[in-house]
Amino acid sequence: GGFLREQFLFKLPSPVNWEFCRVMDGLSDLDWTRFASEVLKDQTAVRLAERQAKRTDWVMNQWGCRNGRVGELIDLLESLQLFRPRDVILTWTEAMNPSSFAPPPLPPPPPPPRLPSPPPYEQPTAYHSAVGGENLLPRPAPPPVSLYSKEQLQPQENRCDVIPLPLAAVASNSTAVICWAHEEVHAGTRGFSPALQIGEGGFGVVYRASLRGMDCAVKRIREVCMMDSSQLRRSFQTEVEKLSKFRHPNIIDLLGFSEGGGSMCLIYSFMENRALEDQLHKGHNFLSWPQRVGIAEGAAAALQFLHSPPAGQEPL
């Protein structure tokens, strides 16, 4: 369908991408070079790709960082008459199209047998006051506190639920944002210990944390003097809703958030190579110019993706 043609290449399922790269790697050098030349547009990059252990996977990653789409890949393969790898992609798109494999609708079930209608229910008669006015019986009192479940009595800030995203995000990504308990985040950062601080910006401090055996980066939002608490909360909620929708090789994945204890935190995947500023100014191994150009291209690809996300999502 047209929707699948507009999907970004980096959203291809791993089995589909693996089979496509396997078929492409088995092509003759001439056919493969024709494909790589159309994608990379630079003979130096083509020669570099040929030296990679997984040459097609390397080319597809480069194309994915430029926000290449599935429809563009199919059109290119057809123009080069590379029909076998094209069929790998087409098989996936046809399988994802519900109309191609939906079974015929079942016949409607027979109507249930008609049962004799029960006798009409008589409304209880309200008692009358001495002056002739009608007064209804009072409602029952609320149940005692002892009858409430523990979940109902649990404070909102200590709950750890999965908060559903807006309908558009759920339909496109089928994901949800995890709300981590504040106590768990507090313990994972050792009480937001300065020894675990790995970065600081205008809106918060970033700590390294261990949550459920996984290394994470926890950004603790600081109160900004230009915002009141309601504005800060709205900004925090917007950031959670927006970042939870985006998946891109050059954008760090948002794993969840935490709120409680007077602080709000965003939880991201941990990057072993630390911040870019550390690599540029504090690292012992200086980045080469090709590496710097690659970083700039990756950041530009992420910005382009945020300004032109997939269909159904609003630009950031």
Q: Which residues are annotated as a binding site for ATP?
A: 219
First-to-last alpha carbon distance for the chain, in angstroms, is 26
Question: 87 is written with which tokens?
Answer: 């069929």
As annotated, the binding site includes 219
Angle at 193 between CA 226 and CA 178, to 5 degrees: 70
Alpha carbons 61 and 10: distance in angstroms, whole number? 8
Q: CA 213 to CA 274: how far, in whole Å?
A: 19
Sign of CA dihedral 72, 92, 7, 104: positive
| C-alpha 58: how far from chain center | 24
CB 306 within 8 A of CB 246: yes
How far is it, in rounded angstroms, from Cα 15 to Cα 106? 33
